Amino acid sequence: MVFTSKEYLVFFLLCATGYFLLRWRFRWILILLASYAFYAAGEAQHLVLLMAVSLATYFAGLLLDRMRDGPARATVLTVAIVALLAPLFIYKYLGFVLQSAQGFVVDGGQPASLGFSLLLPLGISFFTFQALGYLIDIYRHDCGAERHPGILALYIAFFPQLIAGPIERARGLLPQFRRHARLEPDTLVSGGRLILWGAFKKLVIADNLSPYVDTVYAAPTAHTGLTLLIATVFFAFQIYCDFSAYVDIGRGCARILGINLMRNFDRPYGARSIAEFWRRWHISLTSWFRDYVYVSLGGNRRGLAVKSRNVAIVFLLSGLWHGANWTFVVWGGLHGLALIVLLWTAELRTRVICASSLDRLPLLHDILCVGATFGFVCFAWIFFRATSLDDAFYVATHLFTGIAQQMADGRAVAALIADSGGSPDGFLALMLAIAALLASQILTDDAIRRWLDRRARWQRWGVDYALALGLLFLAGNSDAFIYFRF
């Protein structure tokens, strides 16, 4: 059930109506049943897996909470982690491992075929990591075990964030399921605006960018220069609008129900460094790897060399988390390498900035940093989007081939529009939508809210009307969200 579908709209309206008609102590039952129905609508065959993960997490949490610190408690945590990771490995990575190994297995003088493929359960990477974080928090005494099996199951399966996050922490989300929430006008308006903004980003921007990106990346060797560059930059905006749209719609729905989910994106393309980019992009995943992997490896405590090693491990794992393909490993490795280079060159960069007087021109310095960071992020996205390493390397090495001539005659862009089934007017409207997105990113959310609060009512609502009209007239063909299979 896709968030932007009519079926989901009816589902949520019925769910929210029943939620506020019920007494608060029974609401968890409705939301848990609704969450299971939501998941079953997409993949009923994997609902048992979701329930099994919830049960295993519940009993493991109780056991860890009752045990004293020592080797036995560490063993229980290890067994629980392996048990929770086993389905994720089998569904997501076993085929990748076998495919990677088949070149080393010889059968009659030829590489053996070790093909293996299973349909990846929706959201398995998200609800598995949420369950793991809960158990590790109990082990570290950062939270106690949840005694109510239904509330714990709801924590694992809460439908607004089940499929694509954010990956919530137990101490932040669990207490909210016991809160006596009322239907407040302010939360209804703010939640509705999040849903509207998310739908606009998905349907007007991401879905209209998709044909251009798909046309080029389906056959990258048929393109050079400008069209490769346009498709790569378009993908940067497509994946941001697609992923953040899902989170915004989910957060908006949860907010209407009185549940606050964490913010997962904070204007990432305004970051001035790769480190800052990862503090703004997929915040829940970045903080998860920081708290449960990076810190466990030693974090910053053992010198620059060990810190660099830990960064490399975290980002290689992050790449694998995103997909069982070597392209994702390279994507994660590129980001890790960039962070390591920045660590080792910190003093040198400071001296260069001072010698060039950029420290006296902070605005110019920020613009250069944002541009360089965005350029690197777009380059790395090539490996995320390409279907193979060969395609990725082709795009990376032909981004600027003949670009000056292509920009002069304009035929490359016209051909791309025609091949993608678009029109010049539609292309222009898409550029204006992206410009509106960038304008909204320049201002912080607090600044926008303060500005709107000072306007007349018709002006405050004018933005919402404009977004609604954009949805009505500019919405593209709704595609499944990119992160549905992660």
Q: Whole-angstrom Cα distance, residue 157 to residue 136?
A: 18
Using an 8 Å Cβ cutoff, are 314 and 293 in contact?
A: yes
Q: Whole-angstrom Cα distance, residue 389 to residue 377?
A: 17
Candidates 46, 223, 322, 335; catalytic one: 322
Q: How many CB atoms lie within 10 A of CB 454?
A: 8
Cα 159 from chain centre: 16
pLDDT of res. 227 = 92
3-state secondary structure of 274: helix
CA atoms within 13 A on the CB side of 259: 27
* DSSP H or E segment with residue 132: helix 124-139
Q: Is 335 a catalytic residue?
A: no
- Mean pLDDT, consecutive 10-residue stretches, the chain (486 aa), reads 87 93 90 95 90 96 94 95 94 84 57 63 92 96 94 96 91 91 86 90 90 93 91 94 92 94 92 94 94 89 88 94 91 95 90 86 89 95 94 93 84 86 86 84 64 68 74 72 66
pLDDT of res. 448 = 64
- Start-to-end Cα distance in the chain: 16
Q: What is the DSSP letter of 301?
A: T
pLDDT of res. 314 = 94
pLDDT of res. 452 = 66
Q: Whole-angstrom Cα distance, residue 421 to residue 200?
A: 21
Q: Please, what's the largest Cα pairwise distance for the chain?
A: 79
pLDDT of res. 453 = 66
Beta-bridge mates of residue 165: none
- In angstroms, the Cα distances linking 340 to 277, 299, 303, 304, 374 are 14, 13, 13, 9, 18
Hey, what are 294's tokens?
């990076």
Q: What is the DSSP letter of 293?
A: I
pLDDT of res. 71 = 93
pLDDT of res. 44 = 87
Hey, what are 43's tokens?
């993949």
Q: What pTM did the predictor assign? A: 0.90
Q: What are the helix and strand counts (H, E) for the chain? A: 24, 2
